[in-house]
Amino acid sequence: MTVDLALLLAMGVMFAGGIYLVLERSLTRILLGIMLINNGAIMLLFLASGGVGLAPLFVRGRDPHEYADTLPQALILTAIVIGFAVVAFLTAMIYRSWLLIREDEVEVDAEDVKIARMPAWDAEDDAELVEESSEFLDDAADPNAHYEHATESRPHVRHASPTPPARPGPASAVRAHRADGGPRP
What are the pLDDT digits (tens) for 44-96? 998 888 777 777 777 888 887 788 888 888 999 999 999 999 999 999 999 99
- Amino acid sitting at position 137: L
177: helix, strand or coil: strand
108: helix, strand or coil: coil
CATH number of this structure's domain 5-55+67-107:
1.10.287
Report whether 90 contacts 34 (CB < 8 A). Answer: yes
Q: How many helices (H) and strands (E) does the chain have?
A: 6, 0
pLDDT of 153 = 56
pLDDT of 108 = 81
What DSSP element (H or E) covers 35?
helix 27-48
pTM, full prediction: 0.57
91: helix, strand or coil: helix
CB neighbour list of residue 120: distance below 8 Å, 6 or more residues apart: none
User: 55 — phi, psi (to 5°)?
Assistant: -60, 140
Res 98 pLDDT > 60: yes
Smallest CA-to-CA distance from 155 within 178, 184, 121 is with 121
DSSP-assigned letter for residue 58: -
The residue ranges of every structural domain in the chain are 5-55+67-107, 113-154
User: 134 — phi, psi (to 5°)?
Assistant: -140, 145
